[in-house]
Each structure stands twice: as C-alpha cells, then as structure tokens.
Amino acid sequence: MHIYMLKRLGLAVLVALAVSMIAFGLLRLSGDPAIAIAGEGATQADIVLVRQTYGFDRPLPVQYAEWLGRTLRGDLGESIYFKTPAAPLILSKLQTTLVLGLLSLAFALVISVPLGVLAALYRNSWIDRLCLGLAVIGQALPNFFFALLLIMLFSIVLHWLPVSGSDSWQHFIMPTVALGYYAAPAFMRLIRAGMIEVLDADYIRTARAKGLPASTVIFKHALRNAVVPVVALTAVQLGYLLGGSVVVETIFALDGLGYLAYQSITFKDFPVMQSIVLLLSVIYVVLTLASDVANAWLDPRIRVA
C-alpha cells in the first residue's frame, strides 16, 4: 500500500513537472515575452530592461528553473491586462469554478447513478434502451448550444432563472446543468456496465438468499462494488469539467476561472493564461492521485493487503 502510494506520488510529481514545462513553453510560443510585459508604447530600452529584469536573456533551462521557483513560491507574475498580480486574481476566481465543477459533478452523478442502476436492473428492456438513447443524445448535444437553449427557455420564456452572473445559488443552476449533463452519459455507461457485472456476481445471490430487501442488495452490495471504477472516472471528469467551464462560464458570464481564462486568452494576457493552464493541470494531477487513494481505500483487496 505505502509503496504503491509512493510510486503514484512520484509519477504525479513527474507529470506536474512535465506540465509546468509545457505551460512555460506555451508562453514562449507567443514570441518575446519582454515585449508583452513592457506593454505598448515601450521603448527599445524599456524592453531590454524588462528582458534583463526578468532574465529573458539567459538560457532557457535557467529561465525555466527560475520561473518554476517563483511559481512554487506562489508568484505567478502580473496580469498584463488587469495590471494586478496574477496569483490573487486567479485564486479569487477559483472558488466559483470549483463550486461550479463540484455542482456539475454532483448533478451528473445524480442523474447518471439512478439511470445506470435502472438500465442495469432492466437490461435489454425498453428502460435500458431509453437510458442508452438518452446518453447518446446527451453526448450529441454541444454544450454551448444546450446552454443557449436553457437561457432561451428558463430565462426568456419562463422567467424562472437569472441569465448570467454568480451572485446567488439560482445563478448556478443553468451553468451546472449545461456543464454537468455532458459528463452524465459516461458515468451512466460505466455504472450500467459495472452493475451488470456485479449483479451477476455470486455474492449478490448470497445477499438475496439472506433475505435482504432489494434496496439493500442493490445499493449496499451491488453499487458499492460497481462504483469503484466510477471513482476513478469522477476525478477525470472533474478535471474535464473544470477545463470545460471556459465555454459555460463565458456564456453565463459566471465570474470564475474559465471566464478569466477566456478573457486572458482574448486579451493575450499570457501570465494569467499560463498560470490557469498550469493550475488546472496540477488540480487534475492531484485529483487523479486522490482517486487512486480513494480507489485503494474502497477496495479492501488493495487497502488490507
């Protein structure tokens, strides 16, 4: 267990390093960062000064090492557009996005778990086909299009929900649905497949032979074993949801990381853009690590070895 975890931790650190290199490279892709940082109207002397101050004249590996050092200390540079330090700016938006991501994940699970269980219980019946049909249709609907349809229906026609913003819980309903529904089919398929496999297992027959009610059999004995792969997917999906929030946050003008990312990309605000890519990647790495731990914990065969 401990060795396994140490190995996973080592891999996570390596991946994070690789991602940081890519994020570092991303900024270099944009050309001379000194010109961008010096801002418009800067003279050649200003640019040279910036280049020296930031060390852009030194070899790339040295620059990378220094940049990594600063990043690790929490110094993400300064937003070129908003002219404030990038780290607090990003952190101030992170909460909204995390809330949105978790809500969407919860929403996806809330629809996919019952549907997946139902489809597995009544496999090959019309219920099963309906659930699978919903999944295929759900995955075919582009989320930006779906988001606009939601606005159209719930804000314009029905007047039930606010269109944009992030001030109250009502503001989160449509973004949550628009972001979360897309993750649901994957969960549903996985839960269905897992449940089908588990429901055929001998220990389910044992549980039924014990006279346990169907709910206990399904939710205690079956689902518990079927969710193990779901936990791994949860981490992956949360990562996707955080990344995918760019589209949804922009449409709903939800003041989160995705919206900031979109703004920074359109304003060519490289330090912010780079930091968000790095931050989301690191979050993903941490999430997968956490899911490995959770998986090991959920499966006694790994936990109690």
- Interaction mask 11-30, another protein, x per CB under 8 A: x--xxx-xx--x---x--xx
Judge contact between 185 and 139, C-beta under 8 A. yes
Number of residues located near another protein, criterion CB under 8 A: 102
Dihedral pair phi/psi, residue 85, rounded to 5°: -60, 140
Among 57, 114, 205, 297, interactor with another protein by CB under 8 A: 205
Output 32-36 pairs: Cβ under 8 A, ≥24 positions apart. Answer: 32/56, 33/270, 36/80, 36/268, 36/270
Dihedral pair phi/psi, residue 248, rounded to 5°: -65, -45
- C-alpha 79/C-alpha 138 separation (Å) is 38
58 lies in the binding site for another protein (CB under 8 A): no
Binding to another protein (CB under 8 A): which residues in 28-57? 29-30, 35, 39-41
9 lies in the binding site for another protein (CB under 8 A): no
- C-alpha 132/C-alpha 4 separation (Å) is 36
Binding to another protein (CB under 8 A): which residues in 115-174? 132, 136-137, 139-145, 148-149, 151-152, 155-159, 162-166
Among 49, 68, 201, 296, interactor with another protein by CB under 8 A: 201
2 lies in the binding site for another protein (CB under 8 A): no
- The tokens describing 284, both together, are 């993903």
- C-alpha 88/C-alpha 76 separation (Å) is 9
- C-alpha 112/C-alpha 80 separation (Å) is 42
Binding to another protein (CB under 8 A): which residues in 223-282? 224-225, 236, 239-240, 242-244, 246-247, 250-253, 255, 259-263, 265-268, 273, 276-277, 280-282
Instruction: Return the range that interacts with another protein (CB under 8 A); candidates 49-57, 58-66, 76-84, 99-107.
Output: 76-84
Cβ 74 to another protein, closest distance in Å?
19
98 lies in the binding site for another protein (CB under 8 A): no
